[in-house]
């Protein structure tokens, strides 16, 4: 009888708990540490829905469904008191997003708008391409790591909530995001390689304390839509917004990386997205959205919500970063080397 050796990899380490930013996040983090705290008394309804405190509290709740935190019991993922507070945080956040976007149910018009490339666009990738400095690119990548080190994971929540052609097409896109079976080609791994090349930490969660609320809000939106079956249409809309705009944005970042003299891992990450997301655009439009709405036309308004919400939050982050950089100051809450 022969035995087969199975190669294993080390279990990924969970990040430490971040520092609190106000009463809501203090209560959540204290509860995760095992301290006695009355979560039911936390006043989510009075908090700024886009503010640091609420967004960090919500982020900490959601992270229990991903890697968790070092020293925090995995049993807390389904803690009733924490879930009850999370729901109040979600309601506050989602109500603000709904109030701040136009709404509607014309999915075709929203998709067409995403496909129109504005050559005079003022955004982070356009700034970095034209005149951005290396320190600004490093800040941008450090902040984007909050999502990209778990790239495609929030969208994976929607897979069991879809059926038929829409499910098959979404899994096809996710398969590419996860390296098509090659772990070294997973987009999260490629992003980590880029971070190392730029002298950044590739540790999961390394820059959460440095991330402003606008960064956390973008990641939280994906988790919110993905973890609620009732919002599956919104998750598809958010996914469409990312995939349909990624290719031209990534092309600008390729130019930025080349202009700034970055290495092959940095150029390669964005070059990969120029090609892959150009293909994904067609799959998302025809393979996911079309059959989803054919089967469930009542989800059109939610798909529009997802598209518009993604654009709204991207606009808030763009405003934050370009506002800071225009004054020659960091857009981070803490220095990069603090990680």
Q: Cβ(210)–Cβ(143) under 8 Å? A: yes
Q: Which residues contact 300 (CB under 8 A, 6 or more apart)?
A: 105, 106, 107, 233, 293
Q: Which residues contact 56 (CB under 8 A, 6 or more apart)?
A: 18, 20, 21, 22, 24, 25, 213, 216
Residue 189: C-alpha distances to residues 38, 130, 148, 177 (Å): 39, 27, 9, 10
Other CB atoms within a 10 A radius of the CB of residue 246 amount to 18
Q: Cβ(265)–Cβ(257) under 8 Å? A: no
Output the pLDDT for position 255: 97
Could you please report the per-residue DSSP string of 97-119?
A: HHHHS---S-HHHHHHHHH---T
3-state secondary structure of 153: helix
Output the pLDDT for position 137: 98
Output the pLDDT for position 9: 47
Query: Would you say domain 105-338 falls under CATH 3.40.640.10?
Result: no
Average pLDDT of each block of 10 consecutive residues along the chain (339 residues)? 39 88 98 96 96 98 98 97 98 98 98 81 92 98 98 97 97 95 96 98 97 98 98 97 91 97 97 80 92 98 98 98 97 86
Output the pLDDT for position 8: 41
Output the pLDDT for position 280: 81
The dihedral formed by the CA atoms of 310, 314, 316 and 317, expressed in degrees to the nearest 10 = 140
Output the pLDDT for position 286: 93
Report the alpha-carbon distance of residue 115 to residue 281 in Å, rounded.
9
Output the pLDDT for position 7: 39
Please state the domain extents for the chain. 23-99, 105-338
Report the alpha-carbon distance of residue 98 to residue 103 in Å, rounded.
7
Q: Is the pTM of this model over 0.85?
A: yes
Output the pLDDT for position 337: 81
Output the pLDDT for position 33: 97
């Amino acid at each position: 009888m022969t035995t087969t050796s199975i190669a294993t990899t080390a279990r990924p380490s969970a990040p430490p708990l971040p520092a609190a930013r106000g009463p809501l996040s203090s209560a959540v983090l204290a509860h995760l540490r095992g301290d006695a705290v009355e979560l039911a008394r936390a006043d989510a309804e009075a908090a700024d829905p886009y503010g640091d405190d609420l967004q960090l509290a919500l982020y900490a709740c959601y992270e229990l469904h991903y890697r968790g935190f070092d020293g925090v019991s995995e049993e807390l993922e389904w803690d009733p008191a924490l879930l009850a507070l999370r729901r109040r945080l979600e309601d506050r956040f989602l109500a603000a997003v709904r109030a701040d976007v136009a709404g509607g149910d014309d999915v075709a018009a929203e998709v067409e708008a995403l496909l129109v490339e504005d050559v005079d666009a003022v955004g982070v990738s356009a700034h970095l391409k034209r005149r951005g400095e290396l320190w600004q690119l490093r800040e941008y990548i450090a902040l984007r790591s909050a999502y990209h080190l778990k790239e495609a994971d929030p969208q994976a929540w929607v897979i069991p909530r879809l059926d038929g052609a829409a499910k098959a097409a979404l899994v096809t896109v996710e398969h590419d995001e996860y390296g098509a079976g090659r772990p070294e080609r997973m987009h999260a791994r490629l992003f980590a390689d880029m971070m190392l090349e730029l002298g950044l930490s590739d540790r999961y969660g390394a820059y959460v304390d440095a991330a402003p609320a606008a960064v956390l809000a973008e990641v939280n939106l994906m988790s919110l839509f993905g973890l609620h079956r009732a919002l599956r249409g919104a998750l598809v809309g958010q996914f469409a917004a990312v995939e349909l705009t990624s290719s031209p944005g990534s092309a600008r970042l390729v130019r930025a990386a080349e202009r700034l003299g970055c290495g092959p891992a940095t150029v390669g990450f964005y070059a990969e997205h120029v090609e892959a997301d150009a293909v994904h655009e067609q799959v998302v439009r025809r393979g996911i959205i079309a059959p989803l709405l054919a089967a469930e036309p009542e989800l059109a308004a939610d798909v529009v919500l997802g598209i518009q919400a993604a654009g709204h939050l991207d606009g808030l982050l763009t405003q934050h970063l370009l506002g800071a950089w225009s004054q020659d100051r960091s857009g981070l809450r803490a220095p990069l080397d603090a990680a």
